[in-house]
Amino acid sequence: MARAPSEFVLYVEDALGALGPVERTRFFGGWSFVLRGTRIAYVLRDRLLFPVDAALRRTLIAEGCGPFAYEKGGRTVVVERFYEAPSACLDDPDALLDWAGRAAAAAGAGAGGAFDGPD
The helix or strand, by DSSP H or E, that contains position 52, with its residue range, turns out to be none
Contact 18, 118 (CB under 8 A): yes
7-110: CATH topology is Yope Regulator; Chain: A, (3.30.1460)
pTM attached to this predicted model: 0.84
Report helix, strand or coil for 27: strand
Tens-digit pLDDT string for the chain (119 aa): 467 888 999 999 999 999 999 999 899 889 999 998 999 999 998 899 999 999 999 999 999 999 999 999 999 999 999 999 999 888 898 999 999 999 999 988 653 334 444 44
